[in-house]
Amino acid sequence: MITRPLDLASRLQPEPRNFDALFYVNVALVGLFFTLFGSRFVLSPGIQLPVIAGSRAGAIPTETVIRVRGSGQLLTANGLLPEAQLPSWLKDQARLHKHPALLIEADTRAATGVWMRIVDLARNAGFVDISMAADEPATNDGGRP
């Protein structure tokens, strides 16, 4: 061992006898800090968009974005949205803008019925333009289509 020539092992403090209480206090403090200072975007799984050639060609600027996870959860700029509140939220968002446009970022694992229901509710709420988000396929020249 490298400590033998300098006799460093004899100068070390002995190991503490019990770490149990300190361990649980540290875990509780870390949990408290994540709760108080954490962002709703931290540790959130990403959304895998479908890959469609030419998807950027028909892109339009949108003011309202809703994300549909594979589990069917709906995410907005305000956070998680219960499905029961979706019609009223869409009506409120449509009233805020002169030319309401909605972008739906649906995960590839999301059920088709979920985002079709969103399209139907958005039309009834007054959205003029409704777009589905998609990624361009990767190319060999550095990722540009």
The model's pLDDT over 85-107, given as tens digits with 9 standing for 90+, comes to 999 999 999 999 889 999 999 88
Between CA 78 and CA 75 the distance in angstroms is: 8
3-state helix, strand, coil in the chain (%, to 5): 35, 15, 50
pLDDT tens per residue across span 40-86: 655 555 778 888 888 788 788 888 999 998 888 898 988 889 999 99
In whole angstroms, what is the distance from residue 118 CA to residue 93 CA? 13
What pTM was computed for the model?
0.63
- Determine contact, residues 74/80, Cβ cutoff 8 Å: yes
Are 39 and 80 spatial neighbours (Cβ–Cβ below 8 Å)?
A: no
